[in-house]
Amino acid sequence: MITEFGAYALVLALVLSALQLILSAVGGARRSALLAGAGRGAALGAFLCTALTFLALIQIGRDVSERLGKPAPASSLGKAGGFPA
């Protein structure tokens, strides 16, 4: 269920990004503040959908690591050189 939600949010972000491009270009050509504002709203929607996709991906990673019985990998930034051993 989470996988499908993430995929749907990613496709919606793609559609909103295309709308952002089109609405902003047409709004700029026609000097329409309404169309340019709609492009900004589409950009915000695309950002939110991308954030939801990222959160779904994190949740999927946690579920997989729990099912395998392995702890999720810790960050290696604190180790010398920044590379895992």
Q: Residue 77 — pLDDT band, cuts 50, 70, 90?
A: low
Residue 73: phi and psi, rounded to 5, are -65, 135
Three-state SS for 16?
Answer: helix
Structure tokens at 45: 């929607």
The per-residue pLDDT for 73 is: 61
Residue 80 in any domain: the answer is no
Domain ranges, residue 27: 2-65
pLDDT at residue 21 in the model: 94
Matching residue, tokens 């990673």: 61
pLDDT at residue 5 in the model: 86
| pLDDT at position 33 over 80 | yes
Token representation of residue 42: 């589409």
Summarize the confidence of residues 50-57 as an average pLDDT: 92
Domain count, the chain: 1
Per-residue pLDDT, averaged over 32-53, amounts to 92
**Residue 76 domain flag:** no
CA 26 vs CA 31, 32, 37, 45, 85: distances in Å: 8, 8, 11, 19, 53
Residue 1 pLDDT level (bands cut at 50, 70, 90): confident
Q: Is 36 exposed, middle or buried (0-12, 13-18, 19+ CB in 10 A)?
A: middle
Q: Does residue 71 sit within a domain? A: no
What is the model's pTM? 0.68
